[in-house]
C-alpha cells in the first residue's frame, strides 16, 4: 500500500524557517517524481514545488521561488521542503504528492499524504 506521511509543520513567526519531511513507503521511491502542493485554509489547491526521480530537476511556483528548496533522499525514501523567509500568506496545509512519471513536476498526482499544517503568525 502506497503511503506518504508528512511531518515538520507547526507555528513559525514571519521571516522564520521550517523544514517539512515526507516519508514514502509501499512503492519504489526513486521511480517517481514528487511534488509539494499546498492549500490555505478554506481555499483551493496550489502547486508549490516538484522534483524528478534523482533530484536533478526541480521547479518552483513563482510565489516561493528563492525562498523554498525541495530535495529528496532516495536512500531514505524521503522528500523534503526547506522553507525560509516565511510569510503569513504561506500559511496552509502542505501535501506531499507522487507524480505519474519519474521525470518531473509537469504531472498529475495519484497519491497524496494527509497534509501538514504550517502557520506563519507573530
For the window 10-49, what string marks contact with other proteins as x by the rule CB under 8 A? -------------------------x-x------xxxx--
Residues whose CB is less than 8 angstroms from the CB of residue 54 and which lie 6 or more positions away in sequence, other chains included: 30, 74
Taken in order 20, 26, 31, 35, the sign of the CA dihedral is negative
Rounded-to-integer distance, Cα 70 and Cα 98, Å: 14
Among 86, 107, 118, 120, binds other proteins (CB under 8 A): 107
Cell numbers that stand for 121 in this block: 503568525
Judged by beta carbon, residue 18 or residue 97, the one nearer other proteins is 97
Residues of this chain that bind other proteins (CB under 8 A): 35, 37, 44-47, 50, 59, 61-62, 95, 100, 105-115
Amino acid at each position: 500500500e502506497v503511503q506518504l506521511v508528512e511531518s515538520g509543520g507547526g507555528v513559525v513567526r514571519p521571516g522564520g524557517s521550517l523544514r517539512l519531511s515526507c516519508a514514502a513507503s509501499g512503492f519504489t521511491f526513486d521511480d517517481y517524481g514528487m511534488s509539494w502542493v499546498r492549500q490555505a485554509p478554506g481555499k483551493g489547491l496550489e502547486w508549490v514545488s516538484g522534483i524528478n526521480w534523482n533530484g536533478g530537476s526541480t521547479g518552483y511556483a513563482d510565489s516561493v521561488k528563492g525562498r523554498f528548496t525541495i530535495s529528496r533522499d532516495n536512500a531514505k525514501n524521503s522528500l523534503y521542503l526547506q522553507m525560509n523567509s516565511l510569510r503569513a500568506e504561506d500559511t496552509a496545509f502542505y501535501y506531499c504528492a507522487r507524480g505519474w512519471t519519474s521525470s518531473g513536476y509537469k504531472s498529475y498526482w495519484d497519491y497524496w499524504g494527509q497534509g501538514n499544517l504550517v502557520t506563519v503568525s507573530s
